[in-house]
Amino acid sequence: MVESIRCINIHPGLNPFNRGWYPQVFSIINKFPIGITIHEIDEYLDHGPVIVQKELEIFPWETSFDVYSRIIQEEIQLIDKHLLDIITNNYKLTYLDSEGNVNLKKDFNALCKIDLSKIVTMGEAIDFLRAVTFPKYRNAYFIKDGEKIFVDLNLTRE
C-alpha cells in the first residue's frame, strides 16, 4: 500500500529514537529525546522520510502519562499548523541519518516485570517507575509468594 499511496503517520516519538511502542517510556529509561514526528510511511515501523518534527523536554517530575499527555497536545498543534501543507504535498522531506532503535510491545511487556534482585541506583529505580506509571494501567509488577504485586509512582512538585 505504501508504494502506491502516500501515507502519513503522526508518531508520538522523535524519530529515529524509540520507534515503535510507547516511545515516551523508553525515552525516560534510555535518556533519549522525545517529541513528535510527522512522516511519510514506508515499509518499516515508524520509519520513513520526515515532514516535520518537534522535540519536547522530559521533566524529572513527569511520569509516562504526563509526557504522553503533553505529546498529544503538541501533536494537535503541529498537525494544525502543517495540515494544509501535508494535504497539498507542499513540504520538503528530511531523510534521517540513523535507523535509530525500535521497541515492540513485547519489549515493553518484558520491561514491566521487576526483578527484585537487580541492583540499580535510586535514580534508575525512580526513572523506571516514572516510565511505567500510566494511570488506569497496571504495568510494573513483581512476584512475591506467587502473587503479582503492581507498582505505580506518584510524584509531586513543591
CB crowding 57-73: b at 16 or more within 10 Å, else e: ebeeebbbbbbbebbee
Catalytic residue among 11, 39, 47, 82, which?
11
User: Catalytic residue at 11?
Assistant: yes
Q: What are phi and psi of 117, to 5 degrees?
A: -95, -5
Residue-by-residue pLDDT tens, the chain, 158 positions? 667 789 999 999 999 999 999 999 999 999 999 999 999 999 999 999 999 999 999 999 999 999 999 999 999 999 999 999 999 999 999 999 999 999 999 999 999 999 999 999 999 999 999 999 999 999 999 999 999 999 999 999 99
What pTM value is reported for the model? 0.92
| CATH H-level superfamily of 8-150 | Formyl transferase, N-terminal domain (3.40.50.170)
